[in-house]
Structure 1
Amino acid sequence: MKIASYEDEATAYVLVYSIADKRSFRKACDQLQRLRDEENNTCPIILVGNKMDLARAREVSMHDGKIAASDFCSKFVETSATWKHNVDELLVGTLKQIRLYESAIEKAEQEAKASGKRKQKKKTRSHTSTYRSFRRATKRFFGRLTGKGEDAGVDRTCEDLYAPLPSKNY
């Protein structure tokens, strides 16, 4: 079934790919980009690398998954349904992300009511966020170029399913 039929009702998305299949990773990344490119789509998205038990057949590195999640302000986790590794963390983390998202929406609505202003449909990018985005992209580029650190250019919070999503800076 296509994701499009659920988009109006979704509170969060869990995009799963096989670590042993590069094509499934590309498809998940395409969906991730499509979801984030939609106007005002700030709901939680968790990118899940499944089949950790097939380590010898791995085609997608953990670092690639982290980079993709970090680039699109999403969360990342690797699981194994066979070993039941990180499955509980994924479910609890998804629920936590939904609760954080809903409380942020509620808080924004209360602030909008209190200030008497109507919520704008489309946000404009501030000078600070543009600078931050450029700085982050530059740091990621040089980190990859020089190979400094395995996680060069990765937002460290992408793996913390209990932390709020970073702000949308792309």
Structure 2
Amino acid sequence: MLMGDSIDEECDYLFKAVLIGDSGVGKSNLLSRFSKDEFRLDSKPTIGVEFAYRNIKVADRIVKAQIWDTAGQERFRAITSSYYRGALGAILVYDISRRQSFENVRNWLRELREFGNLDMVIVLVGNKSDLSQSREVDEEEGKSFAEAEGLCFMETSALENVNVEQVFLVMISKIHDITRQRSLEAKVEETSVASKSLGGAKETIHIGGDDHEVTATKQSSYCCSN
């Protein structure tokens, strides 16, 4: 998997994703590290929402990842929740040195599932793994919660650039897999419909003397697990 160098490079897919979690857990620096390989010690709390792009090569396709960094403060919640709609992925962040930020993950997840897509790829991230001496949330605790909720999980350090790129790549790769699978299913469905229109077998129900053709579509589901 190689990274695209130019933001202007023509892309095959545009994937929208969101960064959510309490204020101060390091969302903005995770995005800054991923998009520009920068870390700011004087990073200020996000006001409303901000976003960044990065082109990524997945298999033989160029994906433009559009990542929205949302504010963690309660007063911006009505604004930020509107950005969940249409997002294909989400990175839910807590600070391993602040237990309250981990306790609030459940509320963020409930909000995400209320306003977001049902098959959204969600990655739970325990950030600031460099603060091991101040740790309040064990890695196994985060992993267990993620497994119970069907989420992917990883610990990161935006400061030391540990696992930052991997988190985004895992999310984007899984979104790509879902998109490709849907495309294949759509082609199979189109082929099936075309075959039936050319004389394939059809189920016919007689109601009141009229013939009604009955068709059905197959529903698919996806669960992200680590």
TM range, normalised to the smaller chain? 0.5 to 0.7
- Give the counterpart letter for 2:141 in structure 1: D
Question: Kindly tell me: are residues 112 and 4 of structure 1, through their superposed partners in 2, closer, same or farther at Cα, counting changes over 3 Å?
Answer: farther
Higher strand share: 2
Paired with 1:77 and 1:16, the residues of 2 have a C-alpha distance of: 10
Return 5+ residue gaps in structure 2 as ranges.
Answer: 1-70, 72-76, 194-214
Partner of 1:35: 112
Select the structure of larger CA radius of gyration: 2
Query: Deviation per CA, 1:100-142, whole angstroms, max 9, x where unpaired?
Result: 121233234344445555547898xxxxxxxxxxxxxxxxxxx
CA distance in 2, matches of 1:114, 1:11: 27
Matched to 1:22, the amino acid is R
TM normalised by structure 1 equals: 0.62
The change in CA–CA distance for 1:12 and 1:84 in structure 2 (over 3 A counts) is same
1:82 aligned onto 2:141: no
User: How much does 1:16 deviate?
Assistant: 0.7
Gaps of 5+ in 1: 124-163
Q: Secondary structure at the match of 2:131?
A: helix
Classify the secondary structure of the residue corresponding to 1:53: coil
Corresponding residue for residue 184 of structure 2: 107
The letter of the residue matching 2:224 is L
CA 28–108 in structure 1, closer or farther in 2 if over 3 Å, else same? farther
CA distance in 1, matches of 2:172, 2:150: 17
Q: Secondary structure at the match of 2:119?
A: coil
Q: Structure 1 residues 16 and 86, CA, compared in 2 at 3 Å: closer, same or farther? A: same
Relative to structure 1, the CA distance from residue 110 to residue 30 in structure 2 (aligned partners, 3 Å threshold; closer, same or farther) is: farther
Residues 1-170 of structure 1 mapped to structure 2, 5 A cutoff: 1=71, 2=77, 3-36=80-113, 41-114=118-191, 117-119=215-217, 165-166=224-225
How many residues were matched structurally?
Answer: 126
Q: Which amino acid aligns with 1:70?
A: E
Give me the whole-angstrom Cα distance separating, in 1, the residues matched to 2:106 and 2:184.
30
- Structure 1 residues 69 and 83: alpha-carbon distance in aligned structure 2, compared to 1, 3 A threshold: same
Bigger helix fraction = 1
Distance 1:113 1:31, change over 3 A: farther
In the aligned structure 2, how far is the partner of 1:83 from the partner of 1:51? 9
Aligned to 1:31, the other structure's residue is in SS state: helix
Deviation at 1:97, TM superposition (A): 1.7
Q: Please say which of residues 85-94 and 34-43 is displaced more in the overlay.
A: 34-43
CA contact (8 A) 1:35 1:41 kept: no
Distance, in Å, in 2 between the alignment partners of 1:46 and 1:39 is: 14
Counterpart amino acid of residue 137 in structure 2 = V
In the alignment, the residues of structure 1 paired with residue 95 and residue 126 of structure 2 have an alpha-carbon distance, to the nearest angstrom, of 6
* Structure possessing the higher relative contact order (Cα contacts under 8 Å, 6 or more residues apart): 1
Which residue in 2 is equivalent to 1:128? none
Q: Deviations over 1:47-87 (max 9, x none)?
A: 00000011111111111111111111110000001111111
Q: Does the Cα contact within 8 Å between 1:43 and 1:101 map onto a contact in 2?
A: no
